[in-house]
């Protein structure tokens, strides 16, 4: 498949800058909110027809250059034996968190085909929907550290005290935990590729909670192993994204990936200098900019495109996921503006 998103992943010239948005399917869209009145989040994720419908909602609404499968990172932990629920106002809760060596020992390492088949089937359904549009589909997983953080903390955390203490005080047990998670993640990503995903993204949502030294020692080897394992068995591009990691982009790059995602905490051209121009880059609009007036939003989007100056390998995205109350009209205008404005660099 030839598509400007895939061309950009490989740093090939494109007619305009490709754009897709993290969490492009979700609560900001009225179609999604209507569905959520009838179904819970896990019910949607685990019902392939519903996951397909939600994946396609932003594709039908906007001129995006890629779809991303509607799923969540945490069913991976559920497949490993942890009890997961989503509590309104609190977010995800793990009811039997991992705190001891015995807890780690009890974690299963099932195959994705057996335990996460609902997402694989959703990928197959979406691929058939996308066929006539010639649009690629992105599959994804949480990175080993982010999944370990949820498993140990039992949910979200402000300071990640429990997982950091576990990591530092129980190095052997930590290694076992990370290897188990990495094994499941690599298998899951490869299964998504086999089901038809055209690209894969590894999300490390909590990597920015670590110092560069701790990331390099305790986390990077496992993300690196996942990406190397996937790249050894499939030719499709891998995007590696860590939130709040502008102080250690050189390490995220070292961790692997064809494309490195950056958030808004660093100017995109400076981020690319650090990462190196032999990698593609994805980013990096602040999601809150979508709440600004169109005039302000346009200035911010233009600044990113001007900073990159049409260099092959830029995928326009947000620096994190779309927020729930985001104005739909601004999303549409942003997508159209990125295509229209960046075309001048392609033709200059």
pLDDT tens-digit readout, 146-184 = 999 999 999 888 899 999 999 999 999 999 999 999 999
Mean pLDDT of the chain: 97
Report the distance separating Cα 301 and Cα 67, nearest Å.
21
Match 């390490």 to its residue by tokens: 251
Residue 347: predicted pLDDT: 64
pLDDT tens-digit readout, 269-321 = 999 999 999 999 999 999 999 999 999 999 999 999 999 999 999 999 999 99
Taking residue 10's Cβ as centre, other Cβ atoms within 10 Å add up to: 12
Long-range contacts of 262-268 (CB under 8 A, 24+ apart): 262/319, 263/319, 263/320, 264/318, 264/319, 265/319, 267/307, 268/304, 268/307, 268/308, 268/314
Comparing C-alpha atoms, which of 3, 150, 131, 138 is closest to residue 86?
150
pLDDT tens-digit readout, 191-233 = 999 999 999 999 999 999 999 999 999 999 999 999 999 999 9
The CA distances from residue 198 to 222, 237, 238, in Å, are 23, 8, 9
Report the distance separating Cα 236 and Cα 6, nearest Å.
9
The yes-or-no verdict on residue 71 having pLDDT over 60 is yes
Question: What is the DSSP-derived secondary structure letter of residue 46?
Answer: T
Dig out the tokens for 6 from the structure. 């895939």
Residues annotated as catalytic are 23, 27, 36, 72, 150
* Full domain range(s) for residue 109: 4-346
Mean pLDDT of 16-44: 97
Residue 346: predicted pLDDT: 80
The CA distances from residue 296 to 231, 290, 292, 299, 323, in Å, are 40, 9, 6, 5, 18
Mean pLDDT of 102-123: 98
Mean pLDDT of 253-276: 98
The yes-or-no verdict on residue 89 having pLDDT over 80 is no
Q: Is residue 311 classed exposed, middle or buried when 0-12, 13-18 and 19+ CB atoms within 10 A define those classes?
A: middle
Residue 254: predicted pLDDT: 98
Q: At what angle do helices 48-61 and 328-346 cross, to 10 degrees?
A: 60
End-to-end CA distance of the chain: 26
Give the number of domains in the chain.
1
Q: What is the CATH number of the domain that holds 213?
A: 3.20.20.210
pLDDT tens-digit readout, 116-146 = 999 999 999 999 999 999 999 999 999 999 9
Dig out the tokens for 331 from the structure. 């999303």
Q: Name, in order, each residue with C-beta under 8 angstroms of 132's C-beta and a sequence gap of 6 or more.
A: none
Residue 158: predicted pLDDT: 86
- Cα dihedral sign, 231-240-138-237: negative
Question: How many Cα atoms occupy the beta-carbon half-sphere of 247 within 13 Å?
Answer: 11
Name the band, by pLDDT with cuts 50, 70 and 90, for residue 348. low
Q: What angle do CA 89, 31, 141 make, to 5 degrees?
A: 60
Residue 78: predicted pLDDT: 97
β-pair type (238-242, 199-204):
parallel
Taking residue 124's Cβ as centre, other Cβ atoms within 10 Å add up to: 13
């Amino acid at each position: 498949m030839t598509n400007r998103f895939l061309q950009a992943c490989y740093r090939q010239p494109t007619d305009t800058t490709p754009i897709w948005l993290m969490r492009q399917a979700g609560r900001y869209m009225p179609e999604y909110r209507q569905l959520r009145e009838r179904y819970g989040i896990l019910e949607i994720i685990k019902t392939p027809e519903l996951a397909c419908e939600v994946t396609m909602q932003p594709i039908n609404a906007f001129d995006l250059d890629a779809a991303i499968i509607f799923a969540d990172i945490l069913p991976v932990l559920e497949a490993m034996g942890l009890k997961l629920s989503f509590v309104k106002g609190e977010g995800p809760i793990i009811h039997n968190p991992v705190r001891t060596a015995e807890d780690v020992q009890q974690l299963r390492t099932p195959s994705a085909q057996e335990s996460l088949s609902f997402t694989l089937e959703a990928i197959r359904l979406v691929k058939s929907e996308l066929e006539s549009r010639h649009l690629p589909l992105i599959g994804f997983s949480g990175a080993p550290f982010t999944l370990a953080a949820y498993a140990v903390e039992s949910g979200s955390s402000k300071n990640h005290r429990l997982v950091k203490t576990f990591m530092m005080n129980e190095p052997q047990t930590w290694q076992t935990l990370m290897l188990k998670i990495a094994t499941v993640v690599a298998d899951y990503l490869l299964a998504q590729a086999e089901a038809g995903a055209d690209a894969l993204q590894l999300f490390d949502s909590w990597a920015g909670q670590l110092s560069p030294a701790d990331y390099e020692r305790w986390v990077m080897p496992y993300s690196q192993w996942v990406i190397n394992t996937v790249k050894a068995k499939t030719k499709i591009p891998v995007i590696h994204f860590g939130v709040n990691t502008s102080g250690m982009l050189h390490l995220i790059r070292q961790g692997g990936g064809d494309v490195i995602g950056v958030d808004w905490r660093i100017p995109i051209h400076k981020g690319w200098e650090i990462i190196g121009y032999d990698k593609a880059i994805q980013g990096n609009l602040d999601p809150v900019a979508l709440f600004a007036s169109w005039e302000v939003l346009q200035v911010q989007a233009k600044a990113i495109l001007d900073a990159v100056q049409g260099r092959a390998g830029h995928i326009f995205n947000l620096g994190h996921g779309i927020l729930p109350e985001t104005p739909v009209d601004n999303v549409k205008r942003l997508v159209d503006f990125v295509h229209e404005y960046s075309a001048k660099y392609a033709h200059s």
